[in-house]
Amino acid sequence: MKSILKYSALVAAAVGMTASVAQAEDITVVSWGGAYTQSQVKAYHQPWMANTGNVINSEDYSGGLAEVRAQTEAGNVTWDLLDVTMSDAIAGCDEGIFEAVDHDALLAAAPDGTKPTGDFLEGSLGECFIPQIVYSTVWAYSKKAFPDGGPQNIMDVFDLEKFPGKRALQKSPLYNLEWALMADGVPSDQVYDVLETEEGVERAFAKLDTIKDQVVWWTAGAQPPQLMADGEVVVGTAYNGRWFSAIAEEKQPFEMIWYGQALDLDGWAILKGGSKKDTVKDFLKFATDTQRLADQAKYISYGPARKSSAPLVGKHAELGIDMGPHMPTNPDNMTEAFMTNFDFWADNKDELNERFQAWIAG
């Protein structure tokens, strides 16, 4: 069927019909799968396909750049558009896997005419990256373990005396070092300055040492809510969407600690070497406009990356919960919150990962 479509497109071009973007084409869009892809399909894919007659093959992957890098290295790129985290987008851009984009030329302006560079959150645009959502890695505690109120901030979660019990942390230096410093008294806006120095890194590891025995390390996003539900941990970090669905959909007795949440971005990157650039760009322009980004928040609790989308965020499509307060970008949730410093991590990821692995093993 696919080849027939392609063939007829060729014939159409050959006989001199207008073969423009309007010609139906199918593109392969790759995302994280599960509830997240579902929210994209409902908010972006289906309306766009209905408007244009093009077809989106939605595929899932488990994150990371290994697959794409191997594809590109071999000159055998089968995907067109990839949903990536900002740090992966930067790394992929460095590796020459992704296409550089001109945001103002490519994307739609806000309804009031603000250019994309002014409308997307500050610092969220990357050379090869078009942001969709803001998500965060955030702490939460089990109300079953602490019925009289649990930890309220980062100092508390590092305080084993006041709040004893196991902690679930991601098995990665990312954010754990930042939080360790914050627990040690560094304000969130100075964390990366301190981490730049050797003493800062040592200080962070020293602080982590104080809770090391009580940590259960997680490696997949679904694990921390599960660990907490099973009573294996009493405090832990996870993506805010995971906590949201555990609390709102599964009615788990958890409480989120928005204090000190670590913000990150997720969005699109165009793969280099694809042949359907025009269609992909048409889809991108549609899928990242103000209304579409606000629509996605109906299905999942991640905040839109455009300022102009924020007022449009409504209620959850099925639960009927007002989604505004559950957005990481909500001003009420921003106490001591910090945005990931992508340049710092691009430079130091390799070294700090090795150090972290050595520390865990030691």
Q: How far is the CB of 211 from other proteins (least distance, A)?
A: 13
Residue 13 or 360: the one with the smaller Cβ distance to other proteins is 360
C-alpha span between 27 and 29 (Å, rounded): 6
Return the amino acid letter for 188.
Answer: S
**Phi, psi for 26 (deg, rounded to 5):** -115, 135
Q: How far is the CB of 298 from other proteins (least distance, A)?
A: 20
Q: 113: helix, coil or strand?
A: coil
Residues of this chain that interact with other proteins (CB under 8 A) are: 33, 59-61, 64-67, 69-71, 73-74, 76, 78, 91, 93-96, 171, 205, 216-217, 219-223, 226, 230-232, 343, 346-351, 353-355, 357-361
Residue 50 or 361: the one with the smaller Cβ distance to other proteins is 361
Q: How far is the CB of 201 from other proteins (least distance, A)?
A: 9
Residue 4 or 74: the one with the smaller Cβ distance to other proteins is 74
Q: How far is the CB of 133 from other proteins (least distance, A)?
A: 21
Q: How far is the CB of 31 from other proteins (least distance, A)?
A: 11
Q: Are 225 and 252 in contact (CB under 8 A)?
A: yes
Q: 231: helix, coil or strand?
A: coil
C-alpha span between 171 and 3 (Å, rounded): 44
Q: How far is the CB of 65 from other proteins (least distance, A)?
A: 6
Q: Write out the DSSP string of 178-227.
A: HHHHHHTT--GGGHHHHHTSHHHHHHHHHHHHTTGGGEEEE-STTHHHHH
Residue 189 or 354: the one with the smaller Cβ distance to other proteins is 354
Place of tokens 């048409």: 282
Residue 17 or 66: the one with the smaller Cβ distance to other proteins is 66
Tokens read off for 339: 């945005």
Tokens read off for 25: 């084409």
Residue 128 or 134: the one with the smaller Cβ distance to other proteins is 128
Q: Are 103 and 128 in contact (CB under 8 A)?
A: no
